[in-house]
Amino acid sequence: MPDAYPSAPAVLVVGAHGNTGSRVTARLTAAGHRVRAASRTARAPHPGTEAVRFDWYDEATHAPALRGADRVYLVPPPGDADPAAVMLPFLRRARAAGVTRVALLGSSAAERGGPWIGRVHAFLAESALFAQWSVLRPSWFMQNFTGDGPHARAIAASGVLTTATGTGRVAFVDADDIAAVAVHTLTTPTAPENDLVITGPEALSYAEVAATITRVGNRPVRHSPVPSDRLTAHLTELGIPADYARLLAAFDDAIAEGAEDRVTDTVARLTGRPPRAFADFYRAARSGSTATVPSR
């Protein structure tokens, strides 16, 4: 039976309905690239994409999703504290299927070789499986505060942002800026950079974020700092798996110690435009002029 797929190589976007995946899919499609949009529902997020079913925990979906792809944008399975268990076998299958370039969505909080996505980062760096690969390590998403984001839900319910970050600062970043960097790494004719920390233009404490939302959103919002064990309990009560809740609380502890108090030039250097500031992002979200979808 002849292959039903076109011969032109495609970019497989895993998590094509997610915060960055939907934006990566839209940008690639608009630029004329063939895109295979992978999700558990096999729905096309944008016209012109090829929808394919994909489930990290169902190996039978992997080979059909990879068919015809030579580049892959990878988003880890959400809520999994040890994604390497399913991602490393998938990466081996991807290479065997003809994939030559990988862009992995990591986190500024996860160093190469560390826990969570850090193990996958180390595999890409040390296995020599792919000659061309990038790990995108964005700071925390601005989308956490809009739409169905976790902090947005808290703001709507109580007007309180509960974290274990203390006075620590974070250079929050817009998912659209992350997507722009991802598309660059997937399409640049030269080999992409391997380790890309992606931030917004300014580092803000959660108290400063609350003040900005109060001013721009015209509603009172405050930050409530708590110890990390209380945050773990709070997240678990919200339905987050306990091991993942502990991981998130540990990230907050690191923020409190200054780990995320940095600004990089990655967005401007690779896309040619500055990253969006938080106040501008939130103002646009409030006016309905920017898309808001659940974040990582």
Residue 238 has pLDDT above 90, yes or no: no
What are residue 14's phi and psi, to 5 degrees?
-85, 130
pTM recorded for the entire structure? 0.93
Residue 3 is predicted with a pLDDT of: 44
Residue 295 has pLDDT above 80, yes or no: no
Residue 289 is predicted with a pLDDT of: 54
Residue 52 has pLDDT above 70, yes or no: yes
Residue 7 is predicted with a pLDDT of: 58
Residue 166 has pLDDT above 80, yes or no: yes
Domains in the chain, start-ordered, CATH in brackets?
10-138 (3.40.50.720), 140-173+200-261+276-289 (3.90.25.10)
Residue 270 is predicted with a pLDDT of: 98
Residue 1 is predicted with a pLDDT of: 34
Of 90-94, 196-200, 237-241, the poorest mean pLDDT is in 237-241
Residue 45 is predicted with a pLDDT of: 85
More confident residue, 90 or 44: 90
